């Protein structure tokens, strides 16, 4: 008989799927999607959840019977919850009001306590989900604050797992790697691995308007007050997480909230790949950059999470009409 001992053994080894229609018949390059929705928690964040917990157990930050506390847009929380179920930990997750109701409901479904904080406050505000997470970790007995933004196990998970998988799947022939940028773990971990293998591979981060990541990359300066609210979920930041190494990223492409939503819907209808907001943003970025690619290029684009997280928003016609996007 062939079976897994528990669900977290199924993390990783996700498929690479050719994109056929959404980019248009005249798109010059071969585009391959790393579909991370086949992870058990339906997102790429399962990978970092397992790695961060493993490392915290090894060095004693997370003790038996402890409580895992994290600020999350939903996906990292799901991965942490799945590992916590297997290993006997409690979970408290703090998110912001911008995130979809589905994400909060899913976290509660797997046994986590969920606290929702306001979106339109500065990261240093005591009401922000960054601040509330840190406070709860300090107040909770035997609590461990994960801090995926500054926890370098995040990017290490992709350096050790995601990138080697892609390298093997493409026989080392990829020329570009494209991924939405949020905490910086995926883009930096994979980018570092690919640059070590072949410095000519281009690493492209997808950012959203309102985020400060592209500005930091392009100017080397940090102006936190340049950030402003945006609707896109899963990418962009109003802080600079320690997981970033901007030197391995060649370019950031900005995508509007509207285009990310529209291309996510098109990805579902034209490719049969039901993914989240950041996947749509990545597809839109490729279309915007079409003239920069050639017929000899092999582009790997990472699709972070599942469309089920966004049914009440971008996959809801009424919501799209309210936004003026449909």
Alpha helices for the chain (secondary structure H): 45-59, 75-87, 101-109, 129-139, 153-157, 163-169, 185-197, 213-219, 257-266, 277-288, 317-323
> What local confidence, expressed as pLDDT, does residue 128 receive?
87
Structural domains of the chain, with CATH? 7-38+159-323 (3.40.50.1100), 45-145 (3.40.50.1100)
Mean pLDDT by 10 residues, the chain (326 residues): 96 98 96 98 97 98 95 89 96 86 89 90 85 91 95 98 98 98 97 98 98 97 94 93 98 98 98 98 98 98 96 96 96
**Distance (Å, whole) CA 212 – CA 207:** 9
How far apart (Å, rounded) are the C-alpha atoms in residues 194 and 300?
12
pLDDT at residue 219, rounded to an integer: 97
What per-residue confidence (pLDDT) applies to 169? 98
117 closest CA partner among 151, 71, 76: 71
Rounded Cα distance between 203 and 157, Å, is 17
- pLDDT of 103: 83
At residue 15, the pLDDT reads 98
For residue 257, what pLDDT is reported? 98
Catalytic residue among 34, 45, 51, 202: 45
202 is catalytic: no
What does the pLDDT look like over 129-155, one tens digit per residue?
A: 888 998 999 999 999 999 999 999 999
Q: Which contacts qualify for 114-121: CB closer than 8 Å, 24 or more apart?
A: 114/77, 119/229, 120/229
pLDDT of residue 98: 77
């Amino acid at each position: 008989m062939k079976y897994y001992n528990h669900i977290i053994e199924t993390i990783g080894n996700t498929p690479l799927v050719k994109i056929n229609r959404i980019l248009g018949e005249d798109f010059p390059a071969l585009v391959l999607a790393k579909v991370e929705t086949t992870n058990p928690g339906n997102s790429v964040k399962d990978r970092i959840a397992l790695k961060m917990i493993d490392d915290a157990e090894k060095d004693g930050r997370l003790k038996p019977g402890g409580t895992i506390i994290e600020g999350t847009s939903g996906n990292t929380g799901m991965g942490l919850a799945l590992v916590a179920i297997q290993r006997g930990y409690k979970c408290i997750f703090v998110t912001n009001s911008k995130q979809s109701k589905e994400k909060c409901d899913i976290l509660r479904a797997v046994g986590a306590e969920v606290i929702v904080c306001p979106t339109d406050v500065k990261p240093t505000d005591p009401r922000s989900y960054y601040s509330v997470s840190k406070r709860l970790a300090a107040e909770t007995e035997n609590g461990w604050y994960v801090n995926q933004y500054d926890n370098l196990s995040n990017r290490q998970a992709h350096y050790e797992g995601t990138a080697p998988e892609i390298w093997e799947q493409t026989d080392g022939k990829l020329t570009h790697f494209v991924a939405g940028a949020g905490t910086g773990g995926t883009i930096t971990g994979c980018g570092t691995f690919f640059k070590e293998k072949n410095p000519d591979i281009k690493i492209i981060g997808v950012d959203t308007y309102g985020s400060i990541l592209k500005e930091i990359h392009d100017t080397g300066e940090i102006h936190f007050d340049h950030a402003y609210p945006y609707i896109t979920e899963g990418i962009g930041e109003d802080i600079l997480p320690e997981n970033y190494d901007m030197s391995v990223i060649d370019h950031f492409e900005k995508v509007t909230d509207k285009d990310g939503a529209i291309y996510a819907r098109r990805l579902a209808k034209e490719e049969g790949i039901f993914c989240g907001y950041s996947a749509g943003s990545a597809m839109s970025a490729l279309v915007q950059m079409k003239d920069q690619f050639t017929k000899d290029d092999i582009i790997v684009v990472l699709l972070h999470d599942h469309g089920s997280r966004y049914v009440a928003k971008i996959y809801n016609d009424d919501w799209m009409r309210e936004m003026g996007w449909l």
